[in-house]
Amino acid sequence: METEESLSQGLKGARYLGRSTERREDSRLLTGRQRYFDDVVVPGALEAALVRSPFPHARILGIDASEALELPGVHLVITGEQLARDTDPMNQIVAGYEQYPLAVGRARYAGEPVAFVVADNRYLAEDAADLVKVDYEPLPAVLDRDAAARGDVLVDEGGGADTGEDESFVVGEAAGELTAETEPNVAYHEKFPFGDVDGAFGEADHVIERQIVWRRSCGVPLDTNGATAIYEGDGHYTIHANLQIPRVFNTIIGPALRTTTNKLHIIVPPMGGSYGTKMNNYRWPIVCGYASKLLGGRPVKFKESMVESLEQGESHAYDRRYTVRGAFRSDGRMTAYSVLLEEDLGAYPGMLGPAMTLKPISFISGPFDVPIQSYEVKMVLTNKSPQTAYRGFGSAPHNLALAAVMQQAAFDLGLEPEEVLRKNFIPPDKFPYTTGSGNQIDSGNYDSALTKTIQLADLEALRRRQRELREQGRYLGIGVTLGLEPSMFDYAYFVRTNDAVPMSGAPEYITVNVDSMGQVTAFIGTTESGQAYETLTATIVGEELGIDPESVEVVLQQATEADGPGFGQGASRMTVMLLGAAKGACDKLRAKMIKIAQHALETEEEMAVSDGRVYVKDDPERGLPFIVVGGIAHVDTTKLPPGVEPGLKATHVFDNPSVTIDSHKGLQANRLPSYPSMAYAAVMPVVELDPETGKVDLLDLFICYDCGTVLNPATVEALHHGGIAQAIGAVFYEEFTYSEDGQLLANNLWDYGLPTSRDLCPVHSTTDETPSPWMPLGAKGAAEGGYIATPAGLLAAINDALAPLGTRIDEVPITPERVLQAIDAANGGER
Amino acid sequence: MGVNLRNDRANGGSVRIVTTVNGRAIEYEVEPRLRLADFVRQELQLTGTNIGCGHGVCGACTVLFDGQTVKSCLMFAVQADGHEITTIEGVTPVDDLNEVQRALKTNFAFQCGYCSPGFVLAIQQLLERYEIPSEEEIRFALGGNICRCSGYINIVRAVQQLARERVKVGA
């Protein structure tokens, strides 16, 4: 247990925060009592299965469902054409594109849903799906960026290149005159130069250019997407769905179903993992809702099988090619950094993929003080699955590409990697620091975190060992990296690619209620997928009101019943936002309790609230317990002071602190990413590489993370562990491989390799604490850092091992085959 | 409630099975193709057993079959005829946690928890097989269960703690 001395500096005097309080959620989880989406029984629900396109690109000439409909127990078959007639398209974040939950007229990737079959149960629905006859005319497909650029095949015939030329939010410059003709299959293309980039490269002593490829992977939660919808008449729907952000994407579901958002009663059960991926589970609520309506209100349920989940679309993320350049002085100081990102979005822009390519504008040069920088992004469409969000929202590949350039500089200039990092780190006294794009960030002491990691790992001893082993023909590699974890996002840049509704901020609320028995319940506006919001919120509210957190109940509200505005979980920010909201709500509540107690005690003396009592500050014996104050407020209302409303409930909305920071207002007006709070992690993995087999053994991983004030150390540590494991997956095992003819080969968990307990190495972690001056209690985001920062370290370790072999790897995942190819390439094809 | 599983066009029939689930003998009519996982979840409403991949990789659907861990998505309900099935509900004390569950909780082993019932059963079996398991034995024995949140680190720590407690008790 943490002692008072070990508490964060921002938490001195805290009674409950800062301790590793056990998670109250765990008793439910470990006993099987947690009710996930698939456990929610809606009486009378029918179940659905999908008919999916076997072709990556095909015209749908006709769909004959007659045989399927003859099967006893089959109720309905819905086609894309029907949806296009009776529903409205799902929003696309890039202007000029359109998508329905089922393919309309043309299937644009293998596995795209073409028809939706509803039957008594899933078994019958699958039988019937087999009987649906679809007449396809296969079309040529494009499966990579370069083929897409040739323009022989257009993934979306109607869509056109958007160049970000709308003057209302241009900051950089449009990348020339681009149209659908000159840039086929490019959904969006924009260039953001900040400072005299060409000049800096012209004056550089040394220029490094690397091309880095990050192949498709994603969160792949074990609990796949699903929805059960009940049409309640007059445009009302009840929808159960494991949708991560129902208060955001109800704005897609409502209009698609041609009803209003206030008629959608969305209920989100706890989710079996999301990592961002369930943000886009809005297509199943739409189809299930439409089906229920056609069936007179009969509940309709659809839950993806894992194969459907991996194939049918929107469960993939980043598919990137980076061309990154660094301008260096001979002493290792970087003077300019430029990024060209070509993202393979898949067949539809969707809502999240494009925004994920823009987020890194908030930290183009990462922890390094290099304000001259540029960022160019090209979003390419191909005949592959569209994308969803994944932990870090596009940050992990960005950190990886940047780290590769820094490591190359160390190699080329004959420096140790830590020297290059230290020479370029933003110094602690330069915070708040304004990045090239104008994103002002709160705090950091990167050298301190790096030094702690170096000490923890005993880098000197590791290097000695590395030299010894090399003499024996063994290849040890040590990665030395530090990556940023941007947190506290606001919406503004989400709609950069679309001149739709302007957005900014991203507020959250808490409501705190004291009932007639004096018991406290907090209501928060988020879903959950493992972040322990109940435990954390109870601790925060307990701390604020001076009561035992165990006595505080927490209720998660969803869309329509939410007490306030908000986004909900996402972008490493919810707990920080809840801190701000809880303070406001508890201030309001305390004020009312004091007013009631003063009136009842007939005193005007100063009063305090703690330990479940409202009492006179200078005479604590005189006071009332919550049960009496609650009783007066709810049921004994004649004792209320004049003019005071009955009830004892307060809501406070806390907006993203960035909206009050002057330097961020420009970002919001210009629709550029604003991430004022930066957590970070120094990551130092140690690997041994076998040049004969290409196998890489991960021996140890050292990490020091700094996410400001820590509210529950064990929870934060556990979140980092999980992120590290996902990073190991992305770097070594996970890839949504497509065959040359456009079939997804890794469409199951045998072929898509999720790390198991045997794939993890010992993780040695320590922490540093540089509180944020802007965030409540100095806390920063914490849930994404392990995943965001680690891949860069792993690639660096492998390239350190490969250096004496005169080769390197520029892509992840790093399979033994790719290691051998790299070694062969260095040997001119000989081994 | 319950699903109409007798509507099998391939088979057109159902099979009577007698099985013991969590210590109680039951008799049921099931369609031959009904997966054991669906039988447990849908017919018996024992929803602690979760379905992840549905093809035998992730282990979220782990149950004990005559005391041995099996992936219930890869078995048919008819195979349970004459056998004993134990699910997470069967190893959980009333309104309390067993030794394994408690160690997992105090070690912050899980986050979303979807895989946790499967892990509890796998760990229980691991502790039956190895008196004092080494870290390598733990990692190997749990290799059939995927957890996407935890990185396994705290799960392994919890099992190591259980093993240490055994040493203490033995000493």
What CATH number does the domain containing B57 carry?
3.10.20.30
Can you give the CATH number for the domain in which B117 is found? 1.10.150.120
| Nearest-by-Cβ selection for B53 from A530, A722, A748 | A748
Checking if the pLDDT of A199 tops 50, the result is yes
d(Cα A448, Cα A679) in Å, to the nearest integer? 13
Helix (H) or strand (E) holding A632: helix A626-634
**Last residue of a domain, which of A287, A305, A323?**
A305
Nearest to A63 by CA among A107, A109, A111, A122: A107
The pLDDT of residue B170: 66
Residue A440 Cα distances to A115, A665, A673, A810, angstroms: 48, 11, 11, 31
Do residues B77 and B136 both lie within one domain? no
Residue pLDDT, tens place only, A681-739: 999 999 999 999 999 999 999 999 999 999 999 999 999 999 999 999 999 999 999 99
| Nearest-by-Cβ selection for B108 from A72, A219, A718 | A718
Residues pairing with A162 in the sheet: A188
**Last residue of a domain, which of B91, B110, B131?**
B91
Mapping DSSP to helix (H, G, I), strand (E, B) and coil, where does residue B71 land?
A: strand
**Last residue of a domain, which of B41, B56, B91?**
B91
**Residue contact A30–B46, C-beta within 8 A:** no
d(Cα A825, Cα A821) in Å, to the nearest integer? 6
Distance from CA of B27 to the nearest CA of A (A): 22
Q: Over range A265-275, report the average pLDDT.
A: 97
**Last residue of a domain, which of B91, B125, B157?**
B91
The pLDDT of residue A165: 55
Beta carbons within 8 Å of A819's beta carbon, 6+ residues apart: A689, A691, A694, A695, A696, A798, A802, A809
> Under a CB-based contact definition with an 8 Å cutoff, are residues A370 and A424 in contact?
yes
The pLDDT of residue A780: 95
Q: Is residue A369 part of a domain?
A: no
**Residue contact A120–B139, C-beta within 8 A:** no
B47 contacts in chain A (CB < 8 Å): 32, 35, 38-39
Can you give the CATH number for the domain in which A547 is found? 3.30.365.10
The pLDDT of residue A327: 98
Centre a 10 Å sphere on the Cβ of residue A830 and count the other Cβ atoms it contains: 7
A72 contacts in chain B (CB < 8 Å): 7, 9
**Mean of per-residue pLDDT scores for chain B:** 93
The pLDDT of residue B9: 45
B10 contacts in chain A (CB < 8 Å): 127
**In terms of residue numbers, what domain contains B160?**
99-170
| Minimum CA–CA partner of A762 in chain B | B153
Do residues A768 and A820 both lie within one domain? yes
Do residues A634 and A734 both lie within one domain? no
Distance from CA of B110 to the nearest CA of A (A): 8
B115 contacts in chain A (CB < 8 Å): 222, 272
| Nearest-by-Cβ selection for B50 from A36, A123, A756 | A36
> How crowded is the C-beta side of A813, counted as CA atoms within 13 Å?
24
SS3 assignment for A439-486: CEECCCCHHHHHHHHHHHHCHHHHHHHHHHHHHCCCEEEECCEEEEEE
The pLDDT of residue A571: 86
d(Cα A768, Cα A761) in Å, to the nearest integer? 22
Q: Is residue B4 part of a domain?
A: no
**In terms of residue numbers, what domain contains A253?**
37-141+228-305
The pLDDT of residue A312: 81
> Under a CB-based contact definition with an 8 Å cutoff, are residues B72 and B61 in contact?
yes
Do residues A818 and A715 both lie within one domain? yes
What pTM does this model have? 0.96
Which of B102, B149, B157, B160 has the highest number of chain A CBs within 10 A, making it the mutation to test binding with A? B149
DSSP string of A340-400, one letter each residue: EEEEEEES---SSHHHHHHGGGGGTTTTB----EEEEEEEEE-SS--B---TTTTHHHHHH
**Residue contact B4–A73, C-beta within 8 A:** yes
> Under a CB-based contact definition with an 8 Å cutoff, are residues A53 and A311 in contact?
no
d(Cα A23, Cα A28) in Å, to the nearest integer? 10
Kindly state the tokens that stand for A619: 């005479």
User: How buried is residue A9: exposed, middle or buried, by Cβ count under 10 Å (0-12/13-18/19+)?
Assistant: exposed
**Residue contact B88–A31, C-beta within 8 A:** yes
Residue B97 Cα distances to B91, B103, B142, B145, angstroms: 9, 9, 21, 21
- Residue A76 — pLDDT band, cuts 50, 70, 90? very high
A649-654/A508-514 β-pairing = antiparallel
Q: Is residue A239 part of a domain?
A: yes
Do residues B19 and B87 both lie within one domain? yes
| Nearest-by-Cβ selection for B151 from A272, A715, A722 | A722
Kindly state the tokens that stand for A695: 């196998």
Do residues A526 and A468 both lie within one domain? no
* Least confident segment among A88-97, A298-307, A541-550: A88-97
Q: Over range A269-294, report the average pLDDT.
A: 97
**Residue contact B111–A531, C-beta within 8 A:** yes
Q: Over range A364-370, report the average pLDDT.
A: 98
| Nearest-by-Cβ selection for A121 from B5, B143, B153 | B5
**Residue contact A222–B106, C-beta within 8 A:** no
Do residues B28 and B77 both lie within one domain? yes
**Residue contact B50–A222, C-beta within 8 A:** yes
Do residues A682 and A639 both lie within one domain? no
Q: Is residue B48 part of a domain?
A: yes
Residue pLDDT, tens place only, B87-115: 999 999 999 999 999 999 999 999 999 99
Strand ranges (E), chain B? 15-21, 24-30, 62-65, 68-71, 84-86
A38 contacts in chain B (CB < 8 Å): 41, 47, 50-51
| Minimum CA–CA partner of B87 in chain A | A32
**Residue contact A33–B54, C-beta within 8 A:** no
| Nearest-by-Cβ selection for A30 from B55, B116, B144 | B116
The pLDDT of residue A7: 72
Do residues B73 and B22 both lie within one domain? yes
Question: For chain A, how many structural domains are there in total?
Answer: 3
| Nearest-by-Cβ selection for B47 from A39, A275, A531 | A39
> Under a CB-based contact definition with an 8 Å cutoff, are residues A37 and A240 in contact?
yes
d(Cα A543, Cα A196) in Å, to the nearest integer? 50
Do residues A644 and A682 both lie within one domain? no
> Under a CB-based contact definition with an 8 Å cutoff, are residues A241 and A268 in contact?
yes
Whether B142 has its CB under 8 Å from any CB of chain A: the answer is yes
d(Cα A436, Cα A667) in Å, to the nearest integer? 12
Kindly state the tokens that stand for A316: 């993939």
d(Cα A94, Cα A240) in Å, to the nearest integer? 28
Q: Is residue B6 part of a domain?
A: no
Residue pLDDT, tens place only, A617-660: 999 999 999 999 999 999 999 999 999 999 999 999 999 888 88
d(Cα A468, Cα A510) in Å, to the nearest integer? 58
Question: For chain B, how many structural domains are there in total?
Answer: 2
| Nearest-by-Cβ selection for B104 from A30, A33, A717 | A30
Residue pLDDT, tens place only, B143-166: 999 999 999 999 999 999 999 998
A124 contacts in chain B (CB < 8 Å): 4, 7
Q: Over range A555-583, report the average pLDDT.
A: 92
Whether B1 has its CB under 8 Å from any CB of chain A: the answer is yes
**Terminal Cα-to-Cα distance of chain A (whole angstroms):** 55
- Please state the separation of Cα A171 from the chain's center in Å: 25
Residue B23 Cα distances to A212, B71, B83, B127, B167, angstroms: 57, 19, 11, 21, 30
**Residue contact A719–B152, C-beta within 8 A:** no
DSSP state of A527: -
**Mean of per-residue pLDDT scores for chain A:** 94
Do residues A132 and A274 both lie within one domain? yes
Do residues A596 and A520 both lie within one domain? yes
d(Cα A364, Cα A394) in Å, to the nearest integer? 12
**Residue contact A718–B53, C-beta within 8 A:** no
A569 phi, psi to nearest 5 deg: -60, 145
Do residues A533 and A480 both lie within one domain? no
| Minimum CA–CA partner of A719 in chain B | B150
Distance from CA of B123 to the nearest CA of A (A): 12
**Residue contact A39–B4, C-beta within 8 A:** no
Whether B33 has its CB under 8 Å from any CB of chain A: the answer is yes
- The crossing angle, in degrees rounded to 10, of helices A785-802 and A713-728 is 50
The pLDDT of residue A271: 98
B87 contacts in chain A (CB < 8 Å): 32
Residue pLDDT, tens place only, A758-786: 999 999 999 999 999 999 999 999 999 99
Q: Is residue B163 part of a domain?
A: yes
Do residues B111 and B86 both lie within one domain? no
Q: Is residue A667 part of a domain?
A: no
| Minimum CA–CA partner of A721 in chain B | B151
